[in-house]
Structure 1
């Protein structure tokens, strides 16, 4: 068996987490970061090289000074710099000659001899100096680069130069480099922001076009996608141009697909409308002939009477289906509805009374406000909305189910709710409950046939009135809520 390692630790989660920085901020941060890294590294290396160079020059001058003090006249002038050349240590030199432990010569400062204290001499003796210059911190004098040399007569000569000059030169250069880096950081940040913003402006225009398209309503109707990325932002030689060109191609493809979808929907709607309209006449004729045959005075066999009754019943059912399809086709075509004041309170009372007459085994209840509730709309269509909701509760719940119809005014308009305590709508059916020809399964205990268009008509009529339909369903509580504008 092969073990597979998983990277589920905190580090992996951090890498997978998307960054909240914008592309503009990332680019500027990268530019500034690279500038700081390169500048700081270069400055540090330059300061280090300068210090080493000045220290090396100081060591050469110290070596020359100790040779001169020991009696070797082959070297250059004082300090090793030749006549008139200042010492890199600042011009002050230290020369000390020890003979059998006794000091025979002291320190020289600006060509004036000053005596060293016993502690300072002891500090120099304890330093164990050799021919290679070393830095010694002399109390009261500061840091000196010192070297020692034993003469043939047995005396020891110690000579040195102060490091203050080197320290001062290196400090001045470091200050200059720090100031230059700070100024450069400001210039790079401001210039980077300007350059990045200027070069990302075409990408902003592409994003603006995509945002405009994302706000369009594309799920229905004839959709015209007039938005396109400008030609100046579709240069395939640039990355932004490639994005703009790809977005324009995508919009062309989507527009063609939406146009084809709309044309197909129009053909289907036209066919449904034409077929429904053409079927109304033959269905009415079938019902008429069935009724006429049942009224025949001559004896008719019982089987024929039953068959004619079934023909009339199915013709009536088909006529209802045709009427529903024709209504949906008219709503899809955008035909205007009547606009007049409608007393919803009276309409709900009448619809609940009809439902009680149709199914006395259900428990029908009303929850209405004291004052009548009116809206502006098509009374016949609104009555159909309430009747369909009540018929849905009657057809898909068992006998004895409590169905409560309530009406309320709210800030958003008028809320009409139909609530039952039946078994509820299955989770798989709930997302498609308002689609056409959607029927409930056995869990809703269908007691009568259903065309699957009732709730589709509820949603279509409500939408045509400028409202919406909401559904919430759990076992024991199923609520359909129709929200209509108050005026």
Structure 2
């Protein structure tokens, strides 16, 4: 039976075990859930932080637009503009408005787009030595980049490059026809979003690992009943159910047959199926025993009348009275068919005895001499075939029934002789391989049809015209070969193609012989030339 090709286990989920698929589905669902929850939280946090940043931008822009307080402000040591105008309360301070965030950018542009005040808000000391917010100068390219922002009072993200990085910028017109530009750094906001994303991802990953481990333990524990059901089915599948009396005692444990659970339903169904199969096997065995007993009884009873028919036919040919030619021919045909039927009855009786498990002889058998004797007999029966021997340097012996093993070889050689044309070479070899004695019968005839090979050892199996016979055949020869070899705990196999057919018989070696392969050489004795 051809075995269907399956993809590699990890390439296709179809090859995964149920436990692996359940864990994979659980982890996939948890991953999707974690991504959805984490993504939703990240999006909500992003919108919240940016909304808060926009509120800050609006408030800072409002303060920067209306800030013109007095005081003794000093020029910024970071490059801020010097104070403008005369003294007194009309003096404009060059510092940022109150509440300006350190690191933010504030610019006042006149109607021509020229900066009149502003820069990066930074910490510095005033004339009194106090730490206050002052303006640090900005590169001209950065001022130009900020000045290009449309004064539509809408917050915009902009990358200022260098050490400044990304900023959230808003530009609005003031009452004097100029513009106020306020930019707040996105560094802390983006850092917070990235940190939250990493923490969420780490938490999801740790959760997946813990869930995968816990799921594997839980699923393994819950699938133990299914494993026990599978183990029962496996033990049943290893039983030989094709012949003989089969005691089908394997059953799923009672605890695993609760029909309220899925596994219990499977276990209960398997037990019911095993009950039906056991009943069927008992009925089959009873029927087989009846057929075997019938065949054995019929074969035994037919031997006596067949022997009487042969005896009377032979006695009539020895009569002193002349027998007409026509009657003589009829008697010879009766005797011939009686002999053929006797051989058939003997074969059927032998098969019935082997099927019934009748013990065979248990004695050392020299397969080398057995092969030589069988080939000599085959040469006498078919002198026009080319018989050859392939023997080892040392004898090969087994424990078994020498008469039955001789019959195995005789049947194989008769099969080669009757199903191949005259002049065909037939090579008979014997040797030791590993722990088995091996006999091979190879003929170089037309071969066995491919559709017949699976049934070649069945009873009454016959080939087609491509292996026509010169003599009659009962169709039981190879089935006897198979039965005898099986009774010796051996195996027989055939490989055939046009121009070459090889039967291989393997028998267990005796304990006192080495199990190493023996060297063989081609040898054709004079007796079979």
Q: Which TM-score tier does this pair reach, normalised by the shorter chain? A: 0.7 to 0.9
Aligned to 1:82: none
Cα separation, partners in 2 of 1:167 and 1:474, compared to 1, 3 Å? closer
Write the mapping of 1:384-399 to structure 2, written as runs, cut at 5 A.
384-399=407-422
Match of 1:133 in 2: 155
Q: 1:380 aligns with which of 397, 403, 410?
A: 403
2:374 corresponding residue in structure 1: 351
- State which of 258, 261, 264 in structure 2 corresponds to 1:241: 264
Is residue 427 of structure 1 aligned with residue 422 of structure 2? no
Structure 2 residue 488 is the aligned partner of structure 1 residue 465: yes
Q: Is the 8 A contact 2:102 2:121 kept in 1?
A: no
Alignment deviations for residues 20-41 of structure 1 (CA, whole Å, 9 cap, x no partner): 3222222222222222222123
What are the residue-to-residue correspondences of 1:282-361 with 2, within 5 Å?
A: 282-361=305-384
**Runs ≥4 in structure 1, deviation > 6 angstroms?**
none
CA contact (8 A) 2:149 2:171 kept: no
- SS of equivalent to 1:297: coil
Say whether residues 1:410 and 2:433 are aligned partners: yes
Change (3 A) 1:357 1:48: closer
Q: In structure 2, how many angstroms separate the alpha carbons of the residues matched to 1:165 and 1:50? A: 13
2:465 corresponds to: 442
Check the 8 A contact 2:363/2:401 in 1, yes or no.
Answer: yes
SS at match of 1:368: strand
SS in 2 for 1:19: helix
Cα distance change, pair 364–239 in 1 and its aligned pair in 2 (3 A): same
Report matched runs for 1:42-61 at 5 Å.
42-61=37-56
CA contact (8 A) 1:127 1:136 kept: no
Structure 1 residues 389 and 38 mapped into 2: Cα distance closer, same or farther (>3 Å)? same
Distance 1:468 1:340 in 2: 19
Query: Structure 2 vs 1, CA of residues 70 and 440 (structure 1 numbering), >3 Å: closer, same or farther?
Result: closer
Give ranges in structure 1 of 5+ residues lacking alignment: 1-15, 74-85
Q: 1:287: how far off?
A: 2.2
Note if contact 2:118-2:135 (Cα within 8 Å) is conserved in structure 1: no
For the 8 Å contact 2:110–2:179, the answer to whether it is kept is yes
Are 1:103 and 2:116 counterparts? yes
Q: Find out whether 1:213 has 2:259 as its counterpart.
A: no
In the other structure, the counterpart of 2:213 is 190
CA distance in 1, matches of 2:198, 2:384: 97
Residue segments in structure 2 that go unaligned for 5+ positions in a row: 1-10, 69-97, 124-131, 511-529
Deviation at 1:106, TM superposition (A): 6.6
Match in the other structure for 2:15: 20
User: d(CA) in 1 for partners of 2:366 and 2:180?
Assistant: 122
Q: 1:432 to 1:118 in 2, by over 3 A?
A: closer
TM-score w.r.t. length of structure 1: 0.83
Shifted more, 233-242 versus 279-288: the winner is 233-242
The Cα shift of 1:395 comes to 2.2
Partner of 1:29: 24
Displacement after TM superposition at 1:215 (Å): 1.6
Alpha-carbon distance change, 269 to 137 in structure 1, aligned in 2, over 3 angstroms: closer
CA contact (8 A) 2:119 2:138 kept: no
Contact 1:414 1:486 in 2 (8 A): yes
State the SS of the aligned residue for 1:213.
helix
The answer as to whether partners of 2:151 and 2:173 remain within 8 angstroms in 1 is no
The separation in 2 between residues aligned to 1:352 and 1:404, in whole angstroms, is 9
TM (norm. structure 2) is 0.77
Alpha-carbon RMSD: 3.1
Shift in Å at residue 156 of structure 1? 4.4
For residues 151-162 of structure 1, the aligned pairs below 5 Å read 151-154=174-177, 156-162=179-185
